[in-house]
Structure 1
Amino acid sequence: MNIFKSHFWYHKNQRNGIFILIILIVIFQFIIVFVDFSSEEKVDTNSPKIIAFHHQIDSLRKINLENKRLKIFPFNPNYITDYKGAQLGMSLVEIDKLLAFRKTGKFINSEKEFQKVTSISDSLLHSISPYFKFPDWVVKKKQNRQLSTSRDTRLFAKKSKYILTSTDINIAVKDDLKTINGIGEKLSERIIKYRSKLQGFSTPDQLYEVWGLGAEVVVKVLLVFKVVKLPNIQKINVNTVSFKELLKNPYIDYELCKKIFNYKDEVAEMQDISELKNIIGFPLDLYDRIVLYLVAE
């Protein structure tokens, strides 16, 4: 008992202090329970200031939503990835159809062809097709299709008794090409020279790359000549090719050649030719042309 007694032994001043403290606690509890601290003043939510404040909040909210909204920049639909396709609103099935089509080595060159391959809805095509960016040669091809192709091919050929040796653009000789109205000695030589540089035309659209050959003349040529047999192009190994030899690629200039060699120095060896797309500044619109001559082994 002496142990507990020492803890409860207070002199008079201490007992008075404890008593006053208890009274204060009771008073504060009474005030908290029974006194109303709410303000009687009511706020008019329809006042001009409140309405203006809400409008300002709504405007800021709209600006924030606009900033968060996906911004679409022009892109080549042939190189849509899973992530990019999901951002555009494509389903996994539609994306897989596109990727499967691209694995065949073919390319999409129009909005209608994109819809045919992916089976996307008209509304989705309408919303994303304005951002499609196809290579320049595809755009030129579309423009040239606006020319009338219903005319008889004889209207585009010079009146002559000359009989064509072949309608295959990869076999045609100068005299064959000169039957086309608008092609003379120099242009026919230039076409054959460029054909040799390419090791043969892989696609008719490569005719648009011949210097000095106008688009209208190309249309006339393609009404008579076709790529009947694909050329047998000798591909070179990008991992062992020399700088000078790589520069012979008709679609690779000096700057791009340097970029490819710099990239090779970084990775030591390319495992797949598609790694070219990883090079900063690589012209993706020329990828399908460049890889006609390259392989990674």
Structure 2
Amino acid sequence: MILKSHFKFSNSQRNGIFLLAILIVVFQCIYVFVDFSSEETQEDYVVLEKFRQQVDSLKRVKAEIEKPKVYPFNPNYITDFRGYTLGMSVDEIDRLLEFRAKNQWINSAKQFQEVTKISDSLLAVLEPSFSFPAWISNTKPSIDNSKNTDPNAFKLKSFEQKIDLNTATAQDLQKVNGIGPKLSENIIKYRNKFKGGFISEIQLQDIYGLSPEVIERIKNDFAVKTPRIIEKINLNTATREQLVTIQHIDYEIAHYIIEQRTLRDSFKSFDELLRVKNFPIQKFEIIKLYLTLN
């Protein structure tokens, strides 16, 4: 009796249930057979797709801008740090430095590979950036004697032939191709910031306006023969206050250096500084001038 009462409906209830069933069937058919996509929805999708493409394009542009650029350079002057950034191994860099220590010069990309024994793939990457002096590129350089009477114009000078960068005058500096009154003034102004002048030619990198090519020309005519005397700081015992006295090291970098030193239980080589957070890698060679690992 109780079960039967649940299925006992009045006429109006039965009509309502029947109408509800019809509506359900109608709405299901509409959902299945009617296309609800509108032109507006499609237009929104097109706009969204264009926006996505623009974002991807901007990301590619940013990646290209941030991509490290290798400017033309003379491979004879590759330092430990420069070789490291170019992808050379320690052994390859050492072979080059040993070759140069004998006062011998690399005159071609092929000779560079023979000396360093770098792979063909790395040579293919580096060779387009090699820049050798004109006297190497031209075995018989034509010298206009009316403009240049210096017989050594196309020869690399020895250390004895070079002028001391710490005593050079503005007139001396302006003899270098690419150095005018403004740049010579910048060099002397930078030199005078320090009592005793330059420690090394590498500090020329800090002078505003000097391109790598001009720096190489300066180094061919000038050398630091009377370097400024400094007391080097022991990297493995230096305090934060000592480290911040070094060019290009602030309190934040000094903190990270000490933190890395503690984790490593002291530094074994200067190259380990390159792994310090926020370390100014471009100034690595200058910072090394002030440090010792004793």
When normalised by structure 2's length, the TM-score is: 0.44
When normalised by structure 1's length, the TM-score is: 0.44
Q: Please tell me whether Structure 1 or Structure 2 has the larger radius of gyration of its CA atoms.
A: 1
